[in-house]
Structure 1
Amino acid sequence: MPSSAINATSGYRPAVRERPRPPNPILAEAEQQWIFSEDELQQTPSIMDGMAPEEEKTLRRKGANFILQVGMMLKLPQTTLSTAAVFFNRFLMRRSLVAKNGYKPLHHYQVAATSLFLATKVEENCRKMKELVVACVRVALKDPNKLVDDQTKDFWRWRDTILYNEDVLLETICFDLSVEAPYKSMYDMLKYLGAEHNKRLRDASWAFLSDSCLTQLCLLFTSRTIAAASLYTGAKMCDVAFPDEDGKPWWEIQHVRLKDIRRACNLMADIYENVPAKDGSESIYVGLRTPEDEDPRFAKTRLRTSQTPLSPTASSVGMERGASDQSLKRRREDSIEKSTANGTSARENVISTQANVRDEKSRNGDTSKASKDEREVRNAKRAKMERNGVAENETKPPPPPPPPSANGTTKLEDEVSEEGEVEE
């Protein structure tokens, strides 16, 4: 039964690329309560209690770094670490780290450990409590090889702190555990644009998201905007442009504003530019900054329909691969056709060659047999002489002396001159 008939009878429908849907309004509204402005980030409870803004940013960065180090020691996926960083930053927007009125504040390492413990449950990547406590003790003491026994004071102090602060963390964030990691949104965008196999673009976007976990970007933008900003940054660094669809750029198809994308990239550029490279050279992220009000028609990552692609697009890689495969297949088919057309003559040449070889072997059969017998006799004589201790060269007769000349003298080779005359 042909495949077309099977598809017609089974109701088969070819896969169609579905446009991204707008965010769920209920989830979007719930996420908006955790989105703040830059001015509001300067009025956190810790800052209002007298802590310097730079010190508060430093404690946030140290807590997020603590989460990443413990997560790597426990081999947790990046999505779990991102969720823990979101819980940590949201907690500090409603609780202070400054002691006041006899209130003993939490340490930022304790809040980070509790956030990671809660994130492992939310993302269903649970670890044993003992493993988590041991990793926290080793990272806090900066000793990755420290032996931590479950009977020591450090172990029980960290264990009780994490279990007690879990309820405090849940009450502070109002039991809002619906966190969408930007990694999945970024990969969905890559798949929709046909660029999921571009390893350089994928790695650059992933690195942007991993670095954003150490910042307050999750408090300024939604996860979808952060994912689009990572893709925008990766495409800009890799010189990749995405074509328009129905006259709309790719960010509008993903329901994200270009102004928010550029603003997020500029905030990350502030951090990248202040961190020099390891060899002291200029940072590779210097060209990341883009004016927020720049004309979107001239965006570097956008390939309009009327434009000629000056840089490789996301789909050009797959098209080139398909074209090369087709040309290779065509060359293979041509070679098969040529070999089929010349098959008769080639087969006849092979048959005639084999017949000539057989005739030559039959003619030289007696000669080869005789030569084989002579070799056997010669080898037997040589072995017999070696057993008797007589060398092969001694059995040969000495060469005859040269004939005498007319005057009775013998001509020697060393007495012959260059002209061939005998010297007197």
Structure 2
Amino acid sequence: MAHAPHPLATLEQIVSTPSARDGIPSEVEDDLRVVGCMLIQEAGVMLKLPQNTMATAQVLFHRFYYISSLCSFGVNDISISALFLSSKLCETPVRLRDLINTYIFLLARIQHLLTLPPNQPFRMSNMASASTAAWHPSNGSKDKGKAKEQGPVWEGFTFEVPGFHDEVFWDWKDVITASEMQILKRLGFNMQVDLPYSHMINYLKILDLVFEDEVAQMCWSILNDLLLTPLYAIHPPHTLACASILLTTRLLRVTLPDRWYLLFDVTYDEIWSCCGRLMVLWHDWGMEQPRGAITSGVPEKEDDRGAKETRWRRAWVLAQGRKAVRRWVEEREKNEADRA
């Protein structure tokens, strides 16, 4: 098969990432990637950007951290810069001030959640509940610059849109400018991104599944969830498209022809490993399971919920900047030395 038109991570980069060499465990790095991509997705939805723009930003975000360390570049800085860069690459321009106001709002929500006592539960659905109905950067002044989330977990949360000449805007502008140049330089100005959505639709047509109930929609949703993992920087798009088809047909109990994946030049091990990576993400981050999943609708145990929320809190704290990551690594190394 011809070489992919866009770069993929090498085996060396996958096995030993720059962050791993700086002492960051793989599970922490994966969590920080999830947080960064969630911010990109939420900001893109609030700014009404097309999925193509958000997906391109998330792919660039993952590629960047295969050649750069989380100890050197903060997640929040790179995620907002990747989205701004993607909006230009995909010719879906967004006002810089609207983008900054949206990120400030999202980070304010995260800070509110971090201030909640550990014994007060919150769900991922609450985290993703913000919408333009609550606040939108272009009409924030309509409600005197303040907005309040709905739901018990958001009681006491308020947000005020920064003033036009506030210093915070210029600080963020400098960060975005510098981080955008770092992304371009470190990725060698190779911004080509081939997304698997069109591949998936074509493959469903070949398999005569495009008109099956829910199949195309669930495949699309799975490809969106895969953006939270680094698989887009590891596997070519046709492999991810096949992975979404395999997982969807398993969940919906749809029969596929034997060895169907050979039609699309992939191996079963490749696509099944992608499915496994996504199922681990669903479990670790407590995301809502698709219809047909074994654990769909099963109440979550209290211990499991507490462990997941501890994981979320750690990731959100470390995503605040490179200094937070460095402090965490230093404390971890010190504790390991004391135990030794």
TM-score normalised according to structure 1 size? 0.54
Classify 1:149/1:128 alpha carbon distance in 2 versus 1 (closer, same or farther; 3 Å). Answer: same
Classify 1:91/1:276 alpha carbon distance in 2 versus 1 (closer, same or farther; 3 Å). Answer: closer
Give the deviation of 1:234 after TM superposition: 0.9
User: SS in structure 1 opposite 2:214?
Assistant: helix
Which of 70, 84, 88 is equivalent to 2:61? Answer: 88
Contact 1:273/1:286, CA 8 A, preserved across alignment? no
**CA–CA separation in structure 1 for the residues paired with 2:230 and 2:88:** 23
Which of 214, 218, 240 is equivalent to 1:226? Answer: 240
Classify 1:172/1:282 alpha carbon distance in 2 versus 1 (closer, same or farther; 3 Å). Answer: closer
Cα RMSD over matched residues? 2.7
**What amino acid is the match of 1:78?**
Q
Classify 1:56/1:205 alpha carbon distance in 2 versus 1 (closer, same or farther; 3 Å). Answer: same
**What amino acid is the match of 2:261?**
W
The equivalences for 1:57-206 within 5 A come to 57-98=30-71, 105-142=72-109, 145=147, 146-206=160-220
State whether structure 2 residue 272 is matched by structure 1 residue 272: no
Structure 1 residues 54-81: Cα deviation after superposition (integer angstroms, max 9, x where no partner): 3222221111111111111111122221
User: SS in structure 2 opposite 1:142?
Assistant: helix
Unaligned runs of at least 5 residues, structure 1:
1-21, 99-104, 289-424
In structure 2, what is the equivalent of residue 215 of structure 1?
Answer: 229
State whether structure 2 residue 220 is matched by structure 1 residue 253: no
**CA–CA separation in structure 2 for the residues paired with 1:273 and 1:165:** 32
**CA–CA separation in structure 2 for the residues paired with 1:254 and 1:170:** 32
Classify 1:242/1:42 alpha carbon distance in 2 versus 1 (closer, same or farther; 3 Å). Answer: closer
**CA–CA separation in structure 2 for the residues paired with 1:250 and 1:112:** 37
- Higher RCO structure (Cα 8 Å, ≥6 apart): 2
Give the deviation of 1:274 after TM superposition: 4.1
Contact 2:252/2:292, CA 8 A, preserved across alignment? no
**CA–CA separation in structure 2 for the residues paired with 1:147 and 1:81:** 23
**What amino acid is the match of 1:55?**
V
**CA–CA separation in structure 1 for the residues paired with 2:285 and 2:109:** 23
**What amino acid is the match of 1:131?**
D
Contact 2:9/2:63, CA 8 A, preserved across alignment? no
**CA–CA separation in structure 1 for the residues paired with 2:177 and 2:256:** 48
**What amino acid is the match of 1:92?**
Y
Contact 1:137/1:154, CA 8 A, preserved across alignment? no
Structure 1 residues 25-46: Cα deviation after superposition (integer angstroms, max 9, x where no partner): 24x2x54x52344x74352112
Contact 1:150/1:156, CA 8 A, preserved across alignment? no
Unaligned runs of at least 5 residues, structure 2:
111-134, 136-146, 148-159, 297-340
**CA–CA separation in structure 2 for the residues paired with 1:258 and 1:208:** 18
User: SS in structure 2 opposite 1:141?
Assistant: helix
**What amino acid is the match of 1:262?**
W
User: SS in structure 2 opposite 1:232?
Assistant: helix
Identity of aligned residues (%): 27
Structure 1 residues 199-257: Cα deviation after superposition (integer angstroms, max 9, x where no partner): 4111211121111111121233111101110011111212223447xxxx432222222
Larger radius of gyration: 1
**CA–CA separation in structure 1 for the residues paired with 2:290 and 2:45:** 29
Classify 1:52/1:283 alpha carbon distance in 2 versus 1 (closer, same or farther; 3 Å). Answer: farther
**CA–CA separation in structure 1 for the residues paired with 2:291 and 2:163:** 44
In structure 1, what is the equivalent of residue 8 of structure 2?
Answer: 34
User: SS in structure 1 opposite 2:80?
Assistant: helix
Classify 1:92/1:199 alpha carbon distance in 2 versus 1 (closer, same or farther; 3 Å). Answer: same
User: SS in structure 2 opposite 1:267?
Assistant: helix
